[in-house]
Structure 1
Amino acid sequence: MKKKLLAMMLGAGLVLGACGGGNDNAGDTNNDANTGTSGGGETASADPEALYKNSCIGCHGGNLEGASGPALNDVGSRYSAEEINTIIVDGKGGMPPGLLKGEEAQVVAEWLAEKK
């Protein structure tokens, strides 16, 4: 019984930790997101895939297949870019609000809206 409880607590901690993050590396000047580059010479705010990897991959999976959050590989067939942006900014269900804001949220929303 204790092992099951410990496993549940550990699993819950992993899920909550993966979905909750803002930018925890604010003092890390070597982090590409903090220097404004994504490694390819473009800014991270213009690269929706880099933004997704930094903020969304923990819950929605590396291939948009879903994990603790829903799959996003066809999200554009269900929601418009504006609706996706609202979900990113305001949160929905178990998704916390504000993981991305402003232009970053808009860039990721437009990218996800193309997934049909």
Structure 2
Amino acid sequence: MKKVMTFIMGTGLAIGLAACGGGGNNNNEDGGETTSAGAEQIYAQNCSSCHGENLEGRNGPKLEDVGSRLSKDEILDRIENGGTGMPPKIISGDDADKVATWLSEKK
């Protein structure tokens, strides 16, 4: 029964996250942006439906203090490779790095 519930919840999360994506380039007109502003926008577009608009958690865990639990590299690894119900590569490349840096500062 536990395996069935895990499968159902994992499948529901994967379907929900598949609908979340749709990044894109978030640079402003002059080609630059602050890491924090860019990261917040990327997070809002790709992560907030599961982790909450204010990092409070929803279907995914809260991230309000994730930087006190995980390093930037550990956060980036989770974003890139998924795990514990989170599918890999919801965001990637520079976007993933920006979000990992921003989240690592949440203590």
TM-score calculated relative to the size of structure 2: 0.74
Kindly indicate whether the alpha-carbon contact (under 8 Å) linking 1:37 and 1:44 is maintained by their aligned counterparts in 2: no
**Partner amino acid for 1:107?**
K
Identity %: 43
**Partner amino acid for 1:63?**
N
TM-score calculated relative to the size of structure 1: 0.69
* CA deviation map 1:80-101 (0-9, x unaligned): 0000000000001110101111
Determine helix, strand or coil for the equivalent of 1:47. helix
Q: Which whole-Å CA distance do the structure 1 matches of 2:49 and 2:27 have between them?
A: 21
Shift of residue 19, structure 1, vs aligned partner: 1.7
User: Which of the numbers 43, 48, 53 marks the counterpart of 2:44?
Assistant: 53
| Paired positions, count | 95
Larger radius of gyration: 1
Counterpart in the other structure of 2:89: 98
Kindly indicate whether the alpha-carbon contact (under 8 Å) linking 1:75 and 1:112 is maintained by their aligned counterparts in 2: yes
Root-mean-square deviation over aligned CA pairs? 2.9
Unaligned regions of 5+ residues in structure 2, if any?
1-10
Structure with the larger RCO, 1 or 2 (CA within 8 Å, 6+ apart): 2
Matching of residue 22 in structure 1 with residue 21 in structure 2: yes
Kindly indicate whether the alpha-carbon contact (under 8 Å) linking 2:26 and 2:41 is maintained by their aligned counterparts in 1: no
Q: Which whole-Å CA distance do the structure 1 matches of 2:54 and 2:26 have between them?
A: 24
Q: Which whole-Å CA distance do the structure 1 matches of 2:42 and 2:68 have between them?
A: 21
- From the superposition, tell whether residues 99 and 44 of structure 1 become closer, same or farther in structure 2 (CA, over 3 Å): farther
